[in-house]
Amino acid sequence: LLRISDDIRVGEERFREVNGAVVEKEFFGLFRLPFLSGNPGKIFQNPTEVVVTRALADRLFPNENPMGKSLELEKKSFTITGIIENIPSNSLFATMEFFLSDGYRYQYYTDLDQRWYVFGLVSFITFHN
């Protein structure tokens, strides 16, 4: 998990400093955030997909179905392919309103396998007994 905060654009409208994260597709299976729309088993087939919370979806696209709509983040276009329930305030992820694919990070930083970057990644491990 890599936390990010950036402005989001929808058309000419700009939403300032929205918090999100870059995650691997397994994130949703591990934490089981409730999906309202989209298929969690098929999320992030494409690195330009984004999953948003219900609150962010309502803010970006009031009175519209946001599925399949585009938003701009970091001067790149992303398509909404999933909407999750708002994250409870007592969660580690409470401030996050969108999730990008880890594949996007590899597309954006094409030399990841050749250089060192400091991303501040957070890793989660599960144990089976």
Q: What's the mean pLDDT in 40-55?
A: 94
- Whether residue 29 has pLDDT greater than 90: no
Strands, E assignment, the chain: 2-10, 13-23, 35-37, 49-53, 70-73, 76-84, 98-101
Whole-angstrom CA distances from 3 to 20, 36, 98, 123 are 6, 23, 10, 12
Predicted TM-score (pTM) of the model is: 0.86
Residue 111: band (very low, low, confident or very high) from pLDDT cuts 50, 70, 90: low
Q: What's the mean pLDDT in 104-124?
A: 65
Share of the chain above pLDDT 70, in %: 85
CB 20 within 8 A of CB 7: no
List pLDDT tens digits, range 74-94: 889 999 999 999 999 999 899
